[in-house]
Amino acid sequence: MTCVLSLDIAMGRTGWAVGQPVAEARFSHGVFETENWSGNEGRNLVAFRKHLESLRSLYPLTHVAIEQVFVDVSKASRFQFNGTQGQMMLSGVALEWACRSSIKAVEVNIDDWRMRFLGLNRRPKDHKSDDKYWKHTALRRAAELNYYCQHHDEAEALGILDFALAALDKPYRLRTNPRQARAQADIDNKRGIFA
């Protein structure tokens, strides 16, 4: 049975989620937090690897889905190399760990998982200056699915997990297609089910 670990990697806090593509399944999720990176890079990378090992001991993992590291060129004037470097180091640890553990690793494009999980991958024009738009949207979508997330990182990891499970398992994809769910909600609303 497919069991996926998804990672939304960030330098200070990495969201993770684990799940299988079975009906009525509840996904586990949480965050891994690092200490201050300055001078503690090695310690943080070792702690992250231990965290991955602890997840592997709890779940029968077959795949790991990692959000691709990207540079937001729209904010090039505020680009922080150290943050991106930390993400790349953590991604490298996750990829090496997966290879060593015989777990298939895939990198997921941010636009792709956002389109499936959130229904859009471009920020609406009226939210162009809202730096927290994607974070709040992911938290709201997780809440709609009855997942309480303290941090946006774990909500985004749930989105990455949903995308990976849909790519790996056709019955899951058909059962959870957001367009079908939205169309069904419209039909139900027109019938007066939600009145």
Q: Each residue of 104-143: pLDDT tens digit? A: 999 999 988 988 888 876 777 776 666 788 899 899 999 9
Confidence of residue 195 (pLDDT cuts 50, 70, 90): very low
Q: Bridge-partner residues for 65, per DSSP?
A: 6, 106
From 16, 6, 25, 4, select the one nearest 153 (Cα to Cα): 16
Per-domain boundaries in the chain: 4-191
Tell whether the model's pLDDT for residue 86 goes beyond 70: yes
Specify the CATH architecture of the domain 4-191: 2-Layer Sandwich (3.30)
Its pTM stands at 0.85
Q: Each residue of 25-65: pLDDT tens digit? A: 789 999 999 888 778 889 999 999 999 999 999 999 999 99
**pLDDT attached to residue 193:** 47
Neighbouring C-alpha atoms within 13 Å toward the C-beta of 151: 17
